[in-house]
C-alpha cells in the first residue's frame, strides 16, 4: 500500500473513498477540505469577529489553528479563543493549560470563564449537591455562557469544533426522538431565525471525521492530554456514538453517508420549519427563549445556583 498521490508510505486511509495518503498529502487534503467547507457554505464574511469555542481538546484546537491559519493574516477579521472552565477535577485544567500554551505560541487572544465564577459552583460541586444527569446540566450552563460571553466580547460568529461524527450522532438522535424541527436548525451554519442576541454558530470541521481530526492533530503535534471527561459515559449521545462506531467498523463510510444524505434533505427541512419556534426573550435574564423562562434560568433555580451580576 502506498500514498494515492505521491506513491510514498501512507499514514492515513480515508474510509469514504478508500484511498491512502502520506503525511504531507494528508495534511494538504485535510486543510483543503476545511477551506472548501468554509467557502462552500459561506461560513465567514468580511469584517467578522470570530470567537472560537475551545475546550483544549483536539477538535477545538484544530479548528482554532485552521481559522487562525486561514484568516489570521487578514486585517478585517478578528479572532478570539473562548474557553469555559466547567470545573471538572483532573480533566479540564489539563486541557486548558495546553490551550493557554497553544494560544501563546500562536499569538491568539484567549478568554476563559468558569462555572465557579459565573454561577458560584463548579460542575463537580453542582453534581455533589444535585442528582442530575451531568451532560444535561453542563450543556445548558455551557451553552448559556458561550452565547452570553460571545455577545459581551462582540463576536459576529462563534466557531465550534464539531466534526462529522458529532453531527452524524445528532442527526440520529433527532431521528430517534422525532425532532425534525431541531434537525432543521443544524448544518455547517446553524440556525434558521437570526436574532441579535443569539450569536450564529459555524462548523468548519463539519465534513471531516473524528478519526481524520485526530490524525491531523497527531501529525501536527497538537494536544498531548488524552483524558476523557469522567461524565461522558453517562449520556444518551454516548450510546449513539458507540452504536455508530460499531456500524462504521462493520460498514465503512456509514457516517459519511448519514451526513451526505442529511445535507440533501436539509434545504427542505429549513423551508418547512423556516418560521421556527416563536422566539421571545426570557423574563429573568433577557436571553432568547421560546418560553417566559429560559432553560438556563430554570436550571439555575433547580440547581440552587446564583448568577454573577
Reply yes or no on whether the pLDDT at 25 is more than 90: yes
Task: State mean pLDDT over 2-30.
Answer: 88
Reply yes or no on whether the pLDDT at 76 is more than 80: yes
Tell me the pLDDT tens digit for each residue of 187-200. 999 976 677 778 99
- Global pTM? 0.93
Reply yes or no on whether the pLDDT at 88 is more than 80: yes
Residues 6+ apart with CB under 8 A from 279: 193, 195, 288, 289, 290
Under DSSP, the state recorded for 254 is H
Q: What is the pLDDT of residue 134?
A: 87
Q: What is the pLDDT of residue 250?
A: 95
The full set of domains in the chain, from first to last, is 43-224+231-302 (3.40.50.620)
| 171 — pLDDT class (breaks 50, 70, 90) | very high
Tell me whether residue 279 is exposed, middle or buried, using C-beta atoms within 10 angstroms of its C-beta: 0 to 12, 13 to 18, 19 or more: middle
Reply yes or no on whether the pLDDT at 33 is more than 70: yes
Reply yes or no on whether the pLDDT at 278 is more than 70: no
Distance, in Å, from the CA atom of 169 to the CA atom of 64, rounded to the nearest integer, reads 23
Distance, in Å, from the CA atom of 303 to the CA atom of 295, rounded to the nearest integer, reads 12
Mean pLDDT for the chain? 91
Q: What is the pLDDT of residue 136?
A: 86
Task: State mean pLDDT over 211-216.
Answer: 94
Amino acid at each position: 500500500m502506498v500514498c494515492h498521490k505521491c506513491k510514498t508510505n501512507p499514514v492515513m486511509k480515508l474510509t469514504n473513498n478508500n484511498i491512502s495518503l502520506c503525511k504531507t498529502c494528508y495534511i494538504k487534503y485535510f486543510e483543503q477540505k476545511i477551506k472548501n467547507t468554509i467557502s462552500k457554505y459561506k461560513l465567514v464574511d468580511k469584517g467578522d469577529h470570530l470567537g472560537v469555542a475551545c475546550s483544549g481538546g483536539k477538535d477545538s484546537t484544530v479548528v482554532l489553528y485552521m481559522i487562525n491559519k486561514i484568516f489570521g493574516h487578514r486585517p478585517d477579521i478578528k479572532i478570539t479563543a473562548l474557553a469555559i472552565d466547567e470545573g471538572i477535577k483532573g480533566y479540564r485544567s489539563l486541557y486548558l493549560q495546553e490551550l493557554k500554551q497553544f494560544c501563546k505560541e500562536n499569538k491568539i487572544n484567549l478568554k476563559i470563564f468558569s462555572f465557579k465564577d459565573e454561577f458560584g459552583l463548579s460542575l463537580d460541586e453542582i453534581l455533589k449537591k444535585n442528582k442530575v444527569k451531568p451532560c444535561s446540566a453542563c450543556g445548558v450552563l455551557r451553552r448559556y455562557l458561550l452565547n452570553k460571553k460571545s455577545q459581551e466580547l462582540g463576536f459576529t460568529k462563534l466557531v465550534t469544533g464539531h466534526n462529522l461524527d458529532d453531527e452524524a450522532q445528532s442527526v440520529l438522535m433527532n431521528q430517534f426522538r422525532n425532532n425534525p424541527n431541531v434537525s432543521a436548525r443544524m448544518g455547517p451554519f446553524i440556525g434558521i431565525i437570526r436574532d441579535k442576541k443569539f450569536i450564529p454558530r459555524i462548523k468548519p470541521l463539519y465534513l471531516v471525521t473524528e478519526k481524520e481530526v485526530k490524525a491531523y492533530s497527531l501529525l501536527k503535534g497538537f494536544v498531548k492530554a488524552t483524558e476523557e471527561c469522567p461524565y461522558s459515559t453517562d449520556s444518551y449521545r454516548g450510546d449513539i456514538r458507540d452504536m455508530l462506531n460499531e456500524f462504521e467498523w462493520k460498514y465503512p463510510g456509514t457516517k459519511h453517508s448519514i451526513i451526505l444524505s442529511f445535507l440533501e434533505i436539509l434545504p427542505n427541512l429549513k423551508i418547512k420549519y423556516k418560521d421556527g419556534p416563536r422566539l421571545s426573550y426570557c423574563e429573568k435574564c433577557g436571553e432568547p427563549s421560546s418560553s417566559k423562562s429560559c432553560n438556563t434560568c430554570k436550571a439555575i433555580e433547580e440547581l440552587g445556583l446564583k448568577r454573577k451580576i
